[in-house]
Structure 1
Amino acid sequence: MDINPIHSCHLGPDISPEQFIPEHFFMYLLKGAVKAYDGQKRYSMAPGDAVIARKNQLMRYTKFKDGDEFKKIIITLDEPFLKLFLERHPYTVSPPTNHDAFLHVQDNTLLRSYIRSLEPYYAGGLQLDPTFADIKREELLLILLQAEPHLAQVLFTFGTPDKIDLEEFMNRNFRFNVSLERFAFMTGRSLSSFKRDFERIFGTTPGLWLKKRRLEEAHFKITKEHQRPTDVYLEVGFEDLSHFSFAFKKEFGYSPTQVAAV
């Protein structure tokens, strides 16, 4: 998610530009709207909404400006910070029961007061000293856990993903444009075991399967749902329109614009 220092307040480590959430982060929307999709569920945010975006999740999101403005607060709750917090404020942690990628945070008086305390930084362009930024992150976490203790189940569960059903996972998430290393990590495998299991299950390499599966999805959307190629290529996992058009024509014998014109 891009961070505008004038219209945003960002505390903690930067967020990965990938369609992958490597660390938990808190987001509060000040102006505009957000729609997001995690491969199974769709989420939306309006001004005044707050969420915890959960780590080790795939997520595609679209931001919508209000006029020419989009304002948000992003606070990264990375694992080193959370472990230090847990040393100072012990919590008994049970396995999480909610597995959504976006966890909506309920509005309350303390949270609203906290957001107002950051106004000089997201409205005035002031920069937070790193030490003070960590104090503000700790304050936020205390407010969240006081209002919603169940968040401890999510935030204080450390470690890597367990090994899961590879076929089901890939058929659900092939549209996300992330590296094979990310796919391997999320399915609880090393890259070598991921490739080995993938070829055993699908009978081809991950790279070839992903390209073919994404092109088939694009073909369906253009021919059956009458979507435009310019709206489809990013949605199915391609980064570049010209590369998508070349691969599409090589696969089907005609370009996506020829299909769309029919």
Structure 2
Amino acid sequence: MIKQPCLNEHEVLLEQFIPDHVFLYVTKGTIYGYDGSRTYTLQEGDYCVVRKNRLARYNSEKGAAFHRIFFCFDETFIRGFQEKYQLKAGSLKTPGNLKTNDTFIKIRDNDMVPAFIHSLLPYTDATGRLLPAFEDVKYEELMILLLHVQPELADLFFDYAPPQKINLEEFMQRNYKFNVNITRFAYLTGRSLSAFKRDFKAIFHQSPNQWLIQRRLQEAYVLIEQGNKKASEIYIELGFEDLSHFSLAFKKLFGIRPTELAKKG
């Protein structure tokens, strides 16, 4: 977890497990987020809270630069903040509890959050990170602003429960493209690793690793044959880290290399 906010990096972001709630502000360009169910678009000046314990992929258009600022609110900070200000979920005056289950939660338009972002510059070093002396106070200031603008976020921030047991088949069919380890999949479905493997075998009649590779390759076949995609365009988004490994696994399953299938199309 990166504790300090980053003010001006623009490297390509691929995918990750989100272990802590993250505040994200786009200062340049456009970011597209994907959580296995839907795509979110964040343009310059947009900001949101990315929900913890989710899988997400976010990136810009190919080759397009983008800048963003993000704050990672870990549980230690939130618990300390909650105790300091004697707050709890549902204690703030709200028009209703947080009803969205979105991974990227848009914050209502207001003048205070952009003003806060603009105020950060004098408190940063040459790399764009907050100076240590101001880090705690700026984190608290942002949390206060978010709860003032959108009080129902208290239901999100002050909920420390781990993921509950959910439908494993539905979850895996939605998230098989994400390149995370089996332990992470188990945690997100509310299971121990042993229970996850047992339930997985009962549903899919394969081990998780076997099923993941086969499911990803099946999707790749469709994208190449029917979508005219190149292997180099899709292997990362399908959970493979290496193009040559993807090509070898593809040939092993289908008896043909991705490039040969593309030529047939």
TM-score by length of 1: 0.89
* Pairing 1:37–2:34 present: yes
Superposed CA offset, 1:69-111 (max 9, x none): 4221111111110000100123341574211000011232221
Superposition deviation, residue 155 in structure 1: 1.1
Residue 254 of structure 1: how far off its partner (Å) = 0.6
Q: Distance in 1 between matches of 2:157 and 2:56?
A: 18
Superposed, which structure 2 residues align to 1:83-232 within 5 Å? 83-94=79-90, 96-120=98-122, 125=127, 127-232=129-234
Opposite residue 104 of structure 1, the aligned amino acid is K
The alpha-carbon deviation at position 160 of structure 1 amounts to: 0.6
**Which deviates further from its counterpart, 193-202 or 95-104?**
95-104
Contact 1:31/1:66 (CA < 8 Å) preserved in 2?
no
- What SS is found at the alignment partner of 2:151? coil
1:55 aligns with 2:55: no
Summarize the Cα distance change of 1:61–1:5 in structure 2 as closer, same or farther, 3 Å threshold.
closer
**Post-superposition offset of 1:125:** 3.7
Moved more, 180-189 or 196-205: 196-205
Q: d(CA) in 1 for partners of 2:206 and 2:87? A: 46
2:249 corresponding residue in structure 1: 247
Structure 1 residues not aligned, in runs of 5+: 10-15
Q: Deviations over 1:155-179 (max 9, x none)?
A: 1111210011111111111111100
Is 1:73–1:122's contact at 8 Å kept on the other side of the alignment?
no
Superposed displacement of residue 130, structure 1 = 2.9
Q: 1: CA distance between counterparts of 2:132 and 2:209?
A: 41
Judge conservation of contact 1:120–1:126 (CA < 8 Å) in 2: no
Number of residues of Structure 1 aligned to a counterpart in Structure 2: 255
User: Shift in Å at residue 6 of structure 1?
Assistant: 6.9
Percent of residue pairs bearing the same amino acid type:
44
The code of the aligned residue for 1:209 comes to: W
Unaligned runs of 5+ in 2: 91-96
Distance in 1 (alpha carbons) for counterparts of 2:66 and 2:88:
38
Taking a change above 3 Å as real, the CA distance of residues 213 and 66 of structure 1, as seen in their structure-2 partners, is closer
What's 2:93 paired with?
none
Distance, in Å, in 2 between the alignment partners of 1:122 and 1:231 is 37
Q: Structure 1 residues 211, 31: CA separation in 2 closer, same or farther (over 3 Å shift)?
A: same
Conserved? CA contact 2:124–2:130, under 8 Å: no
Alpha-carbon shift at residue 121 of structure 1 (Å):
5.4
TM-score, normalising length from structure 2? 0.89
User: CA 1:181 to 1:244, structure 2 compared with 1: closer, same or farther past 3 Å?
Assistant: same
Q: CA deviation at 1:131?
A: 4.4
Q: Contact 1:6–1:124 (CA<8 Å) still a contact in 2?
A: no
Aligned-pair CA distance for 1:64: 3.9
Query: Once the two structures are superposed, what CA deviation does each residue of 1:176-225 show, in whole Å capped at 9, x if it has no partner?
Result: 11000100000001111111111111111000000000000000111111
Question: Per-residue deviation at 1:119?
Answer: 2.2
Where does residue 12 of structure 1 map in the other structure?
A: none
Give the RMSD, CA atoms, in angstroms.
2.5
CA contact (8 A) 2:6 2:70 kept: no
The answer for the alignment partner of 2:94 in structure 1 is none
| Contact kept? 1:32, 1:65, Cα under 8 Å | no
Task: Give 1:226 shift.
Answer: 1.2
Could you tell me whether the CA contact under 8 Å between 2:7 and 2:69 is conserved in 1? no
